[in-house]
Amino acid sequence: MNKKEKWPLSPSLESTQHASIKKQYSLFIDGEWVKPSSGVYFPSINPADESHLASIAHANEKDVHLAVQAARKAFPLWSKLPASERAKYIFRIARIMQEKARELAVIETLDGGKPIRESRDIDVPLACNHFFYYAGWADKLAYAFPNRTVEPLGVAAQIIPWNFPLLMAAWKIAPALATGNTVVLKPAESTSLTALKLAEIIEEAGLPKGVVNIITGFGDTGAAMVNHPDVNKIAFTGSTHVGKIIQKAIAGSSKKATLELGGKSANIIFDDAPIDQAVEGIVNGIFFNQGHVCCAGSRLFVQENVAEKVIRKLKLRLKSLYVGNPLDKNTDIGAINSKEQLETIESYIAIGKKEGAEIYQPTCNIPKKGYYCPPTLFINVAQSHRIVQEEIFGPVLTIQTFRTVDEVIQKANNTPYGLAAGVWTDKGSRIFNLTTKLKAGVVWANTYNKFDPTSPFGGYKESGYGREGGVHGLSAYVKLS
Amino acid sequence: MKRIEILKTYKIYIGGQFPRTESGRYYTVNNSEGKAHANVCLCSRKDVRNAVVAARKAQGAWAERSAFNRGQILYRIAEMFEGRKIQFIDELTQQGQTKKAAQAEVNMAIERLVYYAGWCDKYNQILSSVNPVSSSHFNFSSCEPMGVVGIIPDQQSPLLGLISLLAPVIAGGNTAIVLASVDYPLCAVTFAEVLHASDVPGGVVNILTGALQETAPTLSSHMDVNALVTSNLGNEVNTPLQVAAVDNLKRYFDYKQDWNNSSAQGLHFIGDLQEIKTTWHPIEQIGGATSSY
Nearest to A251 among B133, B246, B276 (CB): B246
**Is A468 a residue of the active site?**
no
Residues of B in contact with A247 (CB under 8 A): 246, 249
Residues of B in contact with A442 (CB under 8 A): 277-280
The answer to whether residue A7 sits within a structural domain is no
- Check residue B142 and give its pLDDT: 98
Report whether pLDDT(A369) > 70.
Answer: yes
Distance to chain A for B245, nearest Cα, Å = 9
- Check residue B293 and give its pLDDT: 62
Compute the distance between CA of residue A187 and CA of residue A173 in angstroms, rounded to an integer.
12
**Could you report the predicted ipTM of this complex, rounded to two decimals?**
0.96
The 10s digit of each residue's pLDDT in A88-102 is: 999 999 999 999 999
In terms of domains, do A224 and A298 share one?
A: no
Compute the distance between CA of residue A338 and CA of residue A359 in angstroms, rounded to an integer.
23
Distance to chain B for A27, nearest Cα, Å = 33
Nearest to A252 among B144, B238, B277 (CB): B238
- Check residue A4 and give its pLDDT: 66
CATH topology of domain B26-131+140-275: Aldehyde Dehydrogenase; Chain A, domain 1 (3.40.605)
Residues of A in contact with B266 (CB under 8 A): 147
Interface test with B, best of A122, A240, A460 (most B CBs within 10 A): A460
B247 contacts A247? CB cut-off 8 A = no
Distance to chain B for A136, nearest Cα, Å = 14
The answer to whether residue A469 sits within a structural domain is yes
In terms of domains, do A137 and A278 share one?
A: no
Q: What is the CATH number of the domain that holds A464?
A: 3.40.605.10
Distance to chain A for B36, nearest Cα, Å = 37
**Is A260 a residue of the active site?**
yes
**B122–A contact, CB cutoff 8 A:** no
Size of interface A-B (CB pairs under 8 A): 101
Residues of B in contact with A147 (CB under 8 A): 266-267
Distance to chain B for A190, nearest Cα, Å = 27
**B65–A contact, CB cutoff 8 A:** no
The amino acid occupying position A214 is I
Residues of B in contact with A446 (CB under 8 A): 281-282
In terms of domains, do A193 and A247 share one?
A: yes
In terms of domains, do A180 and A228 share one?
A: yes
In terms of domains, do A475 and A423 share one?
A: no
B281 contacts A445? CB cut-off 8 A = yes
B144 contacts A436? CB cut-off 8 A = yes
The answer to whether residue A4 sits within a structural domain is no
B134 contacts A129? CB cut-off 8 A = yes
In terms of domains, do A47 and A109 share one?
A: yes
Residues of B in contact with A443 (CB under 8 A): 277-280
Interface test with B, best of A143, A284, A443, A461 (most B CBs within 10 A): A461
Considering chain A, what is the average pLDDT of its residues? Answer: 97
- Check residue A131 and give its pLDDT: 98
- Check residue B40 and give its pLDDT: 97
Nearest to B280 among A436, A444, A462 (CB): A444
Distance to chain B for A299, nearest Cα, Å = 19
In terms of domains, do A247 and A296 share one?
A: no
In terms of domains, do A218 and A334 share one?
A: no
CA closest to A240 among chain B residues: B249
- Check residue B285 and give its pLDDT: 81
A244 contacts B139? CB cut-off 8 A = no
The 10s digit of each residue's pLDDT in A27-70 is: 999 999 999 999 999 999 999 999 999 999 999 999 999 999 99
In terms of domains, do A275 and A244 share one?
A: no
- Check residue A3 and give its pLDDT: 63
**B281–A contact, CB cutoff 8 A:** yes
The answer to whether residue A250 sits within a structural domain is yes
Distance to chain B for A5, nearest Cα, Å = 37
B268 contacts A455? CB cut-off 8 A = no
Nearest to A412 by CA among A346, A360, A461, A452: A461
Report whether pLDDT(A195) > 80.
Answer: yes
Report whether pLDDT(A151) > 80.
Answer: yes
A465 contacts B251? CB cut-off 8 A = yes
The answer to whether residue A1 sits within a structural domain is no
Q: Residue A270 belongs to what domain range?
A: 266-445
Q: What is the CATH number of the domain that holds A317?
A: 3.40.309.10
Report whether pLDDT(A396) > 70.
Answer: yes
B277 contacts A454? CB cut-off 8 A = no
In terms of domains, do A303 and A222 share one?
A: no
Distance to chain A for B131, nearest Cα, Å = 6
- Check residue A232 and give its pLDDT: 98
Instruction: Please give the tally of structural domains in chain A.
Output: 2
A243 contacts B249? CB cut-off 8 A = yes
CA closest to A438 among chain B residues: B277
Of A108, A118, A189, A294, the active-site residue reads A294
CA closest to B126 among chain A residues: A146
The residue extents of the domains of chain B are 26-131+140-275
Report whether pLDDT(A161) > 60.
Answer: yes
The low-confidence residues of chain B, meaning pLDDT below 50, are: none
The answer to whether residue A235 sits within a structural domain is yes
B131 contacts A455? CB cut-off 8 A = yes
The 10s digit of each residue's pLDDT in B231-249 is: 999 999 999 999 999 999 9
Residues of A in contact with B126 (CB under 8 A): 146
**B226–A contact, CB cutoff 8 A:** yes
Report whether pLDDT(A2) > 70.
Answer: no
A444 contacts B277? CB cut-off 8 A = no
Lateral strand order in the sheet of B274-282: A358-360, A376-379, A396-402, A299-303, A266-269, A420-424, A442-445, B274-282, B137-145, B129-130
In terms of domains, do A330 and A467 share one?
A: no
Of A14, A103, A118, A260, the active-site residue reads A260
In terms of domains, do A230 and A339 share one?
A: no
Nearest to A452 among B133, B249, B281 (CB): B133
Nearest to A456 among B226, B247, B278 (CB): B278
**B131–A contact, CB cutoff 8 A:** yes
Nearest 5°: phi and psi at A79?
-75, -25
